[in-house]
Structures are given as structure tokens and as C-alpha cells.
């Protein structure tokens, strides 16, 4: 090894040492799995660039049994020649120099290269080891690194008749803690998205960690259109073909391009997914607002021109009801509101997207008048339903006022007026409601008994007014005191700041009926008071399933497993002690003291907080769980039973 070589290595090392010292700055949180998985995307993105440049049709990702991960592509292979400035191979520079990704050949390697990420060198820095194998010009080249440091220079180790790059790395567990293993589902979801966004690219994922190999292949010739088809898989679409739009504009820094696929269905909600340089922007941004503006004006312009519109213009919300869309922007130098790239803020994108969409969608409407009419009709319907809902809602509010103070008679309110310490129990049935009223801490706990099954709001999506006419639902709205609905323009819309109780606790029987009622309540909250869930105000009470008693001692079990353990514990040395086991069929079987002790006492109870890990996933879940398609629901429950234990379906 020459002196030069080591001198340069030291210079390079300084960069990588910074990554090891502060991984969070470069890769995200090293504890919760963010940085760990970010490593994969950094490596895969380089191979995706090779695909975009037209050199590889497929990428293979393998999770190995030792928790290392390999990424193989069949592109040109990382350049292996000597790098003049550094005196080592170009490959070594790419692997060890921060941001050295696309520095080599500006003209040929610049489709999306350098548009994202910190580069593979940052991954190298936080890897116990990284092996790079390059097939190029008939020769196999190999180099190993440990903690980012080359063990030896790049070496020729054989011959080959293909080209491409294989990068394998093992995360350094002195840097990653808590979440230390790759999560297949997370990897699969992201790579599926990558395949949708890169039409034609074949991505193969293999998990070799379990005895049986787990292998998934993603390959979508239809790209974004196929993505939208899949989003609408369980919905009745309004028009057969997915509408696709492409366009772009040259700006100073280079070309900004836009790809869009959209289709309306009979769904209630809208789902628009936004991407910049293949990265998801969860909070949308300028591409989203450009798209929204264009959609609203395009549909209104068409409707007016064809005299389909009598009264006021259609609102954006009306136009987007039931829309599924994916918008993918490529930008040479995008800006985001945060490190996590959740929101695109590059302002020039708004007008680019708006102009392209307005023009192309307008053309599409002219060429497909029957599709255009069905879209306008759907928006008109949405507008009428919204108007009817508003009237029904106002009526509910007025009625509340007439009945004095707006609080429903069935509510046993608490004494405190400080919402942060107040809780309201939504209780199934009058008898359980009675026990809860007697057993509660009346200072901070309010009880609202609800009779029987509340209306399934998912099935009333075309008749929102009916939802507001429902007695039980009116009672809930008035008890919570925070308005209802998600309509931004309505001053009576749900506002979590007005909640009279910061904990809304659903308490139903621990049986199938109870689970059903719980899901109905959650569906209502999700559709009409969503921030209550997203801001963490909704809980599920956990009443016990069994009471075990021996003499005067009694204990409660919340699962079968706990029951069995308690049985052993209470028996002690005496195997034959014949312990009393009572299965609670309903809340009503418990007396007030028992209910307090087991389920309601803040000092000892356990409750489940209803969280929304992924808003779209739960939106889909509610649609499937509470919709009309029974076989679909069964399939879904079978598939996801484990993940949704919080809902205990
Ligand atoms: C720099 C320049 C060229 C290709 C690459 C990097 C490259 C990097 C990675 C990382 C994973 N797979 C990769 N494939 C290619 C262009 C080389 C040329 O012009 O031949």
C-alpha cells in the first residue's frame, strides 16, 4: 500500500467518521428502525438510477440469515478505473466519499442520480462490513470495507460475461439499537411502490431468514396507472380507464417532469399519493396543491360549458370525492419542508403541475364526454349530500340548544370542567351504564350509555343526513361538544380543542356483539371526528374475561392465558384446590365495585389507545370492515387479524 493511498484514506475517513458519530443527521433515527431501513433505500436508489438510465431491467434484494442485506443489479457496474484526484479506484471513492455518487460522468449518469440521499458511502460508514462486487468488462472486481474502511484495494477476482453491481452490507449494531432487524413488510411496501413508480422495473425481494424462503416479485408494466387500479381494486370505478397525464417544463436547474394517474370511484374518501424523485411526500405540498387547483377549475369549467351546473360552483372537496390519484414529480433540485421529505415546498412546481393538468385533463374531458359527465354528476351528488348533511347538522345543533344547555339527558356528566382531566365512557347498554354510573369517580368520569347498535355510517355514505338524524349519534355529538364533520368551510366542523373530555373511552362487552358495536363507534369517530383519533383522544376499555376466586380471594384474568396462569398460582401446592372460575359474558354481570376495580380505576386499569399508524391503511380498513362486501371483509380479517388486535374483530 503506497503512502499516497493511506493519506487519501485518512482524508476520506474523516467524512465517514462524522456519519458514525452522528448517524441521525445523515440517515434518520438509529434507534427506531428509520436509519436501519434508510440504508436499504440508499443502496437500492443507486440501482434504480441504473434502471432509469436504461441499463438494468431488474433489481434483486436479499435479506440474509445473518441480518445482512444484498442488492444486485445488472447495470453498467460501478466504474473501476483509477480516480485521478484520489489515486484509488473510482469504486472506492464512491464507497468512501460522502456525496460522491454521480460525480463521474455528468452526461450519462444524470437521470435521477444525485437527486436523493446521502449516498452509499454513508451506509458503508455504519456497516460492520460492506462487500462490493462489480461485473464489468468481463472481469469480476471485489472490495471489502469494515466500518467504512477498505480492508484492501479493489481487486480482480475472476471473469464474467455479464455486467452489474452487487452490494452487501451488515448494519453495525454498535450504532443501531432497539430495532436491529430488517422488517420484511416495511421493505416490501416501499419496494412495491418503487416498482409502481418505475414502470417495467422488476424488483425481487427474498427473505432468507426463516426456514422457508420468502420471495416476492414486483413488476408493473402499467406503472402509475396500475398503481391507481390497485388503489381502486375494491371500489366500483366511475370510468373503466385510468386517466394518465404526462408533462414537464425546463427550469434553470434542469427539467421538471410530472406523471399523473387518476380514477374516480364510488368511494367516499379521496386518496392522492404524492412523490418527488420516487420518494413519498406524506403531507403533499406544491404538487398536491397544483393538482387540486387544476382539478377544481377543470371540472367546473367543463360543467359550466356543457350547462351541467345550475347553482354555485362545485367545491374542491366535491370534485375530489372518490378520487384516487398518484402524482409523481421528478425535479433536479427539490426542496422539502423537513429532513423527512414529507412535504414538497419548491414553489415553481405548483404552476407546472397546475398548467399541465388543466390543459391535459381538459383535453381528455373534450375527447371523453361521457366520462366527463359521470365525473361532474358524481361531484354534483357529493355537493348535494354535503348540503343535506349541513342542514341536518344545523338541526341537530339547534335541537341541542332547545333542550337546554345542549347536554343530552342520558349523560351522567362529571363534576370537573377541566377537559384535560375529564373522561367520558361510551357504554354499551343501559344496565352496564347503570353499574358504570355507580362505580365511577364522578369527579372526572362521565358516563354515556348508548342503546343497541349505533348506525353503520360506512353504509350510509350516500346519505350523510341520515347519520345526523340517528338518535345515538346525536347524543354522542352533543355530549362531546366539539362539533362534527370534516368540512373545512363549516364552522361547526369537529374541533378537538372544544372536546369536553380528553379521553373518550369505548366500553363494550368482551364478546362478538361488543366488538361489533365498538367497531361501529370507531367508524363513526373515524369518519366524522377524525382528529379525535389522530390526536390520541380515543381509548378502548379492557374489561376482564374471567373472575377466579378461592375463598375470599378473587382475581381477574384478561385473557385465557392469564386465566391458566392464575389457576396455577391460586392452586399453589394443592393441585386439587377446585377454584371458582366465572366467565363474564357482559359488563352488566359485574357489580359497580368490580367494574371500577377492574376496568375504570385510572390507577390500575389497562386501556388500549386507538392509534393511527398509517392513515390510509386504516381508511382502507374501515372501508373494508364496515362496508358491504362480506367476502372481502372475511378475507381481510383473516389476513390482518394479528395486526388489528387493537380492534379485536
Ligand atoms: C457512477 C457512474 C456510473 C455508474 C455508477 C456510478 C453505478 C453505481 C451503482 C451503485 C449500484 N449500482 C450501480 N451501478 C452503477 C456510470 C458508469 C459508466 O458510464 O459506465
Full residue range of the structural domain in which residue 412 is found: 407-543+609-643
In which band, very low, low, confident or very high, does the pLDDT at 354 lie, cut at 50, 70 and 90?
Answer: very high
Question: What's the pLDDT at 553?
Answer: 86
In which band, very low, low, confident or very high, does the pLDDT at 649 lie, cut at 50, 70 and 90?
Answer: very low
Query: For ligand 1, is residue 109 a contact (CB within 6 Å)?
Result: yes
In a domain, 600, yes or no: no
431 alpha carbon – ligand 1 mean position (Å)? 71
Residue nearest to atom 16 of ligand 1 (CA): 109
Active site residues: 428, 509, 511, 513
Question: What's the pLDDT at 3?
Answer: 40
Q: Does the pLDDT value for residue 14 go beyond 80?
A: no
In a domain, 239, yes or no: yes
Question: What's the pLDDT at 647?
Answer: 38
104 alpha carbon – ligand 1 mean position (Å)? 9
Question: What's the pLDDT at 470?
Answer: 82
For the chain, helix, strand, coil in percent to 5 are: 40, 20, 40
Nearest to 434 by CA among 414, 417, 422, 448: 448
SS (H, E, C) 141-207: EEEEEECCEECCCCEEEEECCCCEEEEEEEECCCCCCCCCCCCHHHHHHHHHHHHHHCCCCEEEEEE
Q: Does the pLDDT value for residue 198 go beyond 50?
A: yes
Using CA atoms in the order 73, 79, 80, 84, what is the torsion angle rounded to 10 degrees? -160
Counted domains in the chain: 3
Greater confidence (542 vs 261) lies with 261
Q: Does the pLDDT value for residue 199 go beyond 80?
A: yes
Quick one: 330 and 475 in the same domain?
no
Question: What's the pLDDT at 497?
Answer: 95
Query: For ligand 1, is residue 49 a contact (CB within 6 Å)?
Result: no
In which band, very low, low, confident or very high, does the pLDDT at 37 lie, cut at 50, 70 and 90?
Answer: very high
Q: Does the pLDDT value for residue 101 go beyond 70?
A: no
99 alpha carbon – ligand 1 mean position (Å)? 14
Our mutation pick for probing the ligand 1 site, out of 50, 72, 97, 112, counting the most ligand atoms within 8 A of Cβ, is 50
In a domain, 271, yes or no: yes
In which band, very low, low, confident or very high, does the pLDDT at 166 lie, cut at 50, 70 and 90?
Answer: very high
CA angle at 597 for the pair 594 and 601, rounded to the nearest 5°: 140
- Compute the mean pLDDT over every residue in the chain, rounded to the nearest whole number: 86
Lowest mean pLDDT among 45-49, 130-134, 184-188, 463-467: 463-467
105 alpha carbon – ligand 1 mean position (Å)? 9
39 alpha carbon – ligand 1 mean position (Å)? 18
- 71 Cα nearest atom in ligand 1: 11
Query: For ligand 1, is residue 50 a contact (CB within 6 Å)?
Result: yes
Quick one: 253 and 279 in the same domain?
yes
Average pLDDT rounded to a whole number, residues 282-299: 97
40 alpha carbon – ligand 1 mean position (Å)? 17
Quick one: 470 and 330 in the same domain?
no
81 alpha carbon – ligand 1 mean position (Å)? 12
Question: What's the pLDDT at 447?
Answer: 97
In which band, very low, low, confident or very high, does the pLDDT at 1 lie, cut at 50, 70 and 90?
Answer: very low
Query: For ligand 1, is residue 187 a contact (CB within 6 Å)?
Result: no
Quick one: 239 and 185 in the same domain?
no
In which band, very low, low, confident or very high, does the pLDDT at 93 lie, cut at 50, 70 and 90?
Answer: very high
Our mutation pick for probing the ligand 1 site, out of 46, 57, 164, counting the most ligand atoms within 8 A of Cβ, is 46
The domain spanning residue 635 has which CATH number?
3.40.50.670
- 76 Cα nearest atom in ligand 1: 20
Question: What's the pLDDT at 642?
Answer: 38
In a domain, 572, yes or no: no
In a domain, 565, yes or no: no
d(CA 258, CA 353): 7
Quick one: 70 and 209 in the same domain?
yes
Q: What is the pLDDT of residues 587-612, one digit of tens each?
A: 888 899 999 999 999 998 888 888 77
Please answer whether residues 262 and 323 qualify as being in contact, where contact means their C-beta atoms are separated by less than 8 angstroms: yes
- 79 Cα nearest atom in ligand 1: 17
Query: For ligand 1, is residue 47 a contact (CB within 6 Å)?
Result: yes
The domain spanning residue 253 has which CATH number?
3.30.230.10
Average pLDDT rounded to a whole number, residues 216-229: 97
Q: Does the pLDDT value for residue 191 go beyond 50?
A: yes
Q: Which three cell numbers stand for residue 550?
A: 378461592
The domain spanning residue 134 has which CATH number?
3.30.565.10
Query: For ligand 1, is residue 336 a contact (CB within 6 Å)?
Result: no
In which band, very low, low, confident or very high, does the pLDDT at 483 lie, cut at 50, 70 and 90?
Answer: confident
Please answer whether residues 131 and 185 qualify as being in contact, where contact means their C-beta atoms are separated by less than 8 angstroms: no
Which residue has cell 478505473?
A: 81
Residue nearest to atom 10 of ligand 1 (CA): 46
DSSP 424-461: EEEEESHHHHHHHHHHS-TTTEEEEEE-SPPP-GGGGT
Query: For ligand 1, is residue 184 a contact (CB within 6 Å)?
Result: no
Quick one: 305 and 319 in the same domain?
yes
Our mutation pick for probing the ligand 1 site, out of 51, 54, 74, 77, counting the most ligand atoms within 8 A of Cβ, is 77
102 alpha carbon – ligand 1 mean position (Å)? 8
Instruction: Give the burial class of 4: count Cβ atoms within 10 A of its Cβ; 0-12 exposed, 13-18 middle, 19 or more buried.
Output: exposed
Average pLDDT rounded to a whole number, residues 399-419: 80
CB atoms within 10 A of CB 47: 27
Please answer whether residues 543 and 590 qualify as being in contact, where contact means their C-beta atoms are separated by less than 8 angstroms: yes
Greater confidence (13 vs 148) lies with 148
In which band, very low, low, confident or very high, does the pLDDT at 619 lie, cut at 50, 70 and 90?
Answer: low
Quick one: 87 and 70 in the same domain?
yes
CA angle at 648 for the pair 610 and 624, rounded to the nearest 5°: 85
Quick one: 509 and 536 in the same domain?
yes
Greater confidence (302 vs 27) lies with 302
Question: What's the pLDDT at 521?
Answer: 86
Q: What is the pLDDT of residues 427-481, one digit of tens each?
A: 988 888 999 999 999 999 999 999 866 777 766 666 777 788 788 888 899 899 9
Question: What's the pLDDT at 56?
Answer: 97
In a domain, 585, yes or no: no
Average pLDDT rounded to a whole number, residues 246-262: 95
In a domain, 425, yes or no: yes
In a domain, 46, yes or no: yes
Query: For ligand 1, is residue 136 a contact (CB within 6 Å)?
Result: no
Q: Which residues of 390-402 are buried (b: 16+ CB within 10 A; e: fewer)?
A: bebbeebbeebee
* Domain end among 178, 199, 218: 218
SS3 label, residue 507: strand
Quick one: 72 and 211 in the same domain?
yes
Q: In which region does residue 268 sit, left (phi positive, over 0), alpha (psi from -120 to 50) or beta (all else)?
A: alpha
Quick one: 138 and 283 in the same domain?
no
* Domain end among 383, 417, 437: 383
- 165 Cα nearest atom in ligand 1: 12
d(CA 617, CA 168): 32
Q: Can you name the residues that pair with 505 across neighbouring β-strands? A: 425, 539
Average pLDDT rounded to a whole number, residues 248-255: 94
Q: Does the pLDDT value for residue 637 go beyond 60?
A: no
Quick one: 231 and 363 in the same domain?
yes
d(CA 647, CA 542): 11
Residue nearest to atom 5 of ligand 1 (CA): 78
Quick one: 137 and 152 in the same domain?
yes
Q: Does the pLDDT value for residue 20 go beyond 90?
A: yes
Residue nearest to atom 6 of ligand 1 (CA): 78
d(CA 180, CA 170): 11
Question: What's the pLDDT at 472?
Answer: 87
Rounded to 10 deg, the angle between the 369-402 and 348-367 helix axes is 110
**Residue 404 vs residues 391, 424, 469: alpha-carbon distances, Å:** 20, 20, 19
Amino acid at each position: 500500500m503506497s503512502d499516497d493511498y493511506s493519506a487519501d484514506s485518512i482524508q476520506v475517513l474523516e467524512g465517514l467518521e462524522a456519519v458514525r458519530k452522528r448517524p441521525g443527521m445523515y440517515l434518520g433515527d438509529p434507534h427506531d428502525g428509520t436509519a436501519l431501513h434508510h440504508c436499504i433505500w440508499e443502496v437500492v436508489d443507486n440501482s434504480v438510477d441504473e434502471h432509469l438510465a436504461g441499463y438494468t431491467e431488474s433489481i434483486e434484494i436479499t435479506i440474509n440469515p445473518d441480518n445482512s442485506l444484498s442488492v444486485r443489479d445488472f447495470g453498467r457496474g460501478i466504474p473501476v478505473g483509477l480516480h485521478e484526484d484520489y489515486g484509488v479506484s473510482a469504486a472506492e471513492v464512491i464507497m468512501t466519499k460522502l456525496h460522491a455518487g454521480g460525480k463521474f460522468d455528468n452526461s450519462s449518469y444524470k437521470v435521477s442520480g444525485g437527486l436523493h440521499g446521502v449516498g452509499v458511502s454513508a451506509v458503508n460508514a455504519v456497516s460492520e462490513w460492506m462487500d462490493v462486487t462489480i461485473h464489468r468488462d468481463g472481469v469480476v472486481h471485489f472490495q471489502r470495507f469494515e466500518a467504512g474502511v477498505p480492508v484492501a484495494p479493489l481487486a480482480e477476482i475472476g471473469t464474467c460475461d455479464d455486467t452489474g453491481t452487487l452490494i452487501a452490507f451488515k448494519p453495525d449494531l454498535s450504532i443501531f439499537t432497539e430495532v436491529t432487524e430488517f422488517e420484511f413488510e416495511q421493505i416490501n411496501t416501499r419496494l412495491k411502490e418503487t416498482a409502481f413508480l418505475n414502470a417495467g422495473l422488476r424488483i425481487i425481494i427474498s427473505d432468507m431468514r426463516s426456514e422457508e424462503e420468502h420471495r416476492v416479485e414486483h413488476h408493473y408494466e402499467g406503472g402509475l396507472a396500475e398503481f391507481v387500479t390497485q388503489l381502486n381494486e375494491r371500489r366500483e370505478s366511475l370510468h373503466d380507464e385510468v386517466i394518465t397525464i404526462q408533462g414537464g417544463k425546463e427550469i434553470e436547474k434542469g427539467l421538471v417532469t410530472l406523471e399523473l394517474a387518476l380514477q374516480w370511484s364510488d368511494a367516499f374518501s379521496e386518496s392522492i399519493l404524492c412523490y418527488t424523485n420516487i420518494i413519498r411526500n406524506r403531507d403533499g405540498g406544491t404538487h398536491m396543491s397544483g393538482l387540486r387547483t387544476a382539478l377544481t377549475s377543470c371540472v367546473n369549467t367543463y360543467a359550466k360549458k356543457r350547462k351541467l351546473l345550475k347553482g354555485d360552483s362545485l367545491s374542491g372537496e366535491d370534485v375530489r370525492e372518490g378520487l384516487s390519484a398518484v402524482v409523481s414529480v421528478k425535479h433536479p433540485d427539490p426542496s422539502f419542508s423537513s429532513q423527512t421529505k414529507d412535504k414538497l415546498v419548491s414553489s415553481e412546481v405548483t404552476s407546472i403541475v397546475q398548467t399541465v393538468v388543466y390543459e391535459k385533463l381538459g383535453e381528455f374531458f373534450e375527447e371523453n364526454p361521457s366520462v366527463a359527465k359521470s365525473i361532474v354528476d358524481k361531484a354534483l351528488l357529493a355537493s348535494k349530500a354535503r348540503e343535506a348533511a349541513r342542514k341536518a347538522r344545523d338541526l341537530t345543533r339547534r335541537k341541542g340548544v332547545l333542550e337546554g344547555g345542549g347536554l343530552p339527558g342520558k349523560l351522567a356528566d362529571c363534576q370537573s370542567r377541566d377537559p384535560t382531566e375529564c373522561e367520558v365512557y361510551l357504554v354499551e347498554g343501559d344496565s352496564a351504564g347503570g353499574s358504570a354510573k355507580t362505580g365511577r369517580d364522578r369527579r372526572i368520569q362521565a358516563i354515556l350509555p348508548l342503546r343497541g347498535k349505533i348506525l353503520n355510517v360506512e353504509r350510509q355514505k350516500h346519505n350523510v343526513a341520515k347519520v345526523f338524524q340517528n338518535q345515538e349519534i346525536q347524543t354522542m355529538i352533543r355530549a362531546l361538544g366539539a362539533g362534527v364533520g370534516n368540512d373545512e368551510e363549516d364552522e361547526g366542523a369537529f374541533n378537538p380543542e372544544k372536546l369536553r373530555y380528553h379521553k373518550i373511552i369505548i366500553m363494550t362487552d368482551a364478546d362478538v356483539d361488543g366488538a361489533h358495536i365498538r367497531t361501529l363507534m370507531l367508524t363513526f369517530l373515524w369518519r366524522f371526528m377524525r382528529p379525535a383519533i389522530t390526536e390520541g383522544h380515543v381509548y378502548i376499555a379492557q374489561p376482564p374475561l374471567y373472575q377466579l376466586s378461592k375463598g375470599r380471594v378473587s382475581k381477574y384474568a384478561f385473557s385465557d392465558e392469564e386465566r391458566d396462569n392464575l389457576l396455577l398460582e391460586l392452586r399453589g401446592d394443592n393441585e386439587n384446590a377446585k377454584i371458582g372460575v366465572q366467565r363474564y359474558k357482559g359488563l352488566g354481570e359485574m357489580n359497580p365495585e368490580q367494574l371500577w376495580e377492574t376496568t375504570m380505576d385510572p390507577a390500575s386499569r389497562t386501556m388500549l389507545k386507538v392509534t393511527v399508524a398509517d392513515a390510509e391503511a386504516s381508511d382502507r380498513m374501515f372501508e373494508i370492515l364496515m362496508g358491504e362486501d362480506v367476502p372481502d371483509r372475511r378475507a381481510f380479517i383473516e389476513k390482518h387479524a394479528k395486526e388489528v388486535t387493537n380492534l379485536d374483530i
